[in-house]
Amino acid sequence: MSCKQITCSIIFFFFVGFSQLKAHERGLDSVYYVKINPFLSKLIELKDLNTSIIHSNETKMIPTGGTLFAPNQQELLKDEGNIYIHIEQTGFLYKMTSWADSIATFSRIDNTININYNINALDFAYHGQLYSYGGYGFWKSNGHIRKFSFIDKEWDIIPTDKELFSGGLNWFSKKEGKLYLPFQKKMNAGIIGGGDLPIADKYQSYYLDLNTRKWIKLGMLSAEAHLLFDKDDTPASYLLPMDSGLLHVIHDEVYYFNFIDNKIYRSKKSDFNQFMIRRVDMPNMFFYKGMIYSYANNNASFNLIPFSLNDFELLNFPIWSRDTSYDIYIVVVIVLVLIFIFTIYFIQRGVKRKIEQSQIKLLKNKSLNQAFAGTEIALINLLLAADNRDKKVEISQINHVLGIKDKNIGLQKKVRSDIINAINDKYQFITQESIPLIGSVRKEDDKRFFEYFITSTEIKSIIRILEKN
């Protein structure tokens, strides 16, 4: 072979290889005309359907064969009558702009060029807007909320009060405008150990209020739910959104996570479990008005499976429970408060007793070295003895103790009043309080007469004072 022939061969093979490479690397077209199959026809028919659906290879709407995006999954989003196709792991977005006869037109509505930054992100629609949360790319995960701008045809970052990382099992409530996040998982290949979060942060449960853009803490992932997720070897992206939560297969059992009511259910029907296990990646499936729709490619029709909580058992543990990680701090604060209260109490009691002692000394100096006189002590002891028996003292008993039982009624009344007033005055002087020691109440059987008693709150105090008297 001549040198000229060899050169021509090299040039020929170069151009063949180059053309094949360019064919493989070519981008996606801006418009595709897609045949309306029974799958797409049903989605158009259900006018009020709002859902997201992962396609199987057979139902992909955008023909990506021969491009870099052939392996990428496609997700259909339907919201307020509009149908969108999102090429996963990219920002590429197509909208069904028209349909006639048996052909639907899908037009690309974005100008984004970034790819592989949002692997396994959660895509959802809310009030006519399209959102994307989290994802993995460029060796690390992110907790960003992205919103598609229909004006600029770009995905914009929506600032939130903190960055929380998706654990995979997250769900958006269209009714509430809340994104539920039961636990987190942070990945960062640039950090030794993966850069995961501390346990105390990893298993906190939150929801994002999309209207206020604030994450609200719900509690801590329950210990039982923690164990359940630890044995979960099914990819977290294999989830079926429901009206109040998610269906998910874990170890050949189907669980329903109800985020609205914070409950976990497990299927009791073996045939339903088998049906879901065979479709564990949830392709071409969606929930609509009490039915699970599952598209079968072999006969181009939908299987409708009724969904009822009667076919599930409620587990005895919630998704999240009260966060107990701060209990130790609460206990410490309570102990410190109690110590402070008791310290103040004992200080006040010590001061009060010192005042009592000084007041007793003053009274002793004025009255023959005795705060209370003999008759006063006798009356106090009579009232204390009656209190021990849960009784009150009548006038006749007081007259007897004071030695005036044979005196006339007027004198008896005066002496009783003087002595009781003297006791109360001395007691209030000693304690520096306004509470009287001796009180009176009318007799129940004869309201003309009184009965006397020691004020219950002052019993310990007067006993202590008498001991020092």
Of the candidates 324, 286, 315, the one whose C-alpha atom is nearest the C-alpha of residue 302 is 286
Domains of the chain: 30-327 (2.120.10), 332-467 (1.10.10)
Distances (CA, A) of 191 to 140, 187, 201, 332: 9, 9, 18, 36
pLDDT tens, N- to C-terminus, the chain (469 residues): 444 444 444 443 343 343 333 434 457 999 999 999 999 999 999 999 999 999 999 999 999 998 999 999 999 999 999 999 999 999 999 999 999 889 999 999 999 888 888 999 999 999 999 999 999 999 999 999 999 999 999 999 999 999 999 988 999 999 999 999 999 999 888 888 888 888 888 999 999 999 999 999 999 999 999 999 988 888 777 899 999 999 999 988 999 999 999 999 999 999 999 999 998 888 999 999 999 999 998 899 999 999 999 999 999 999 999 766 666 777 778 888 888 888 887 777 666 666 666 666 555 555 445 567 788 888 888 888 888 888 888 888 888 888 888 888 888 888 888 888 888 888 888 888 888 888 888 888 888 888 889 888 888 888 888 877 6
How many CA atoms are closer than 13 Å to the CA of 44, on its beta-carbon side? 17
How many CA atoms are closer than 13 Å to the CA of 458, on its beta-carbon side? 22
Beta-strand runs (E) in 42-128: 51-54, 74-79, 82-87, 93-100, 103-108, 122-126
| Vertex 168: Cα angle to 167 and 171 (nearest 5) | 105
Q: How many CB atoms lie within 10 A of CB 366?
A: 10
Task: Quote the CA–CA distance of 249 and 50 in Å, as a whole number.
Answer: 23
DSSP 433-450: -S--SEEEEE-SS-TTSE
Distances (CA, A) of 247 to 46, 169, 266, 290, 441: 22, 10, 10, 13, 72
Token readout for 400 is 């007897």
Place of tokens 């409708």: 304
pTM of the predicted structure, to 2 decimals: 0.68
Beta-strand runs (E) in 203-290: 204-209, 214-221, 240-241, 245-250, 253-258, 263-267, 285-288
Q: How is residue 109 annotated by DSSP?
A: -
- Expressed in angstroms, the distance from the first to the final Cα of the chain is 135
**Enclosing H/E stretch for 383:** helix 374-388
Residues in Cβ contact with 317 at an 8 Å cutoff, skipping those fewer than 6 apart = 222, 223, 224, 225, 264
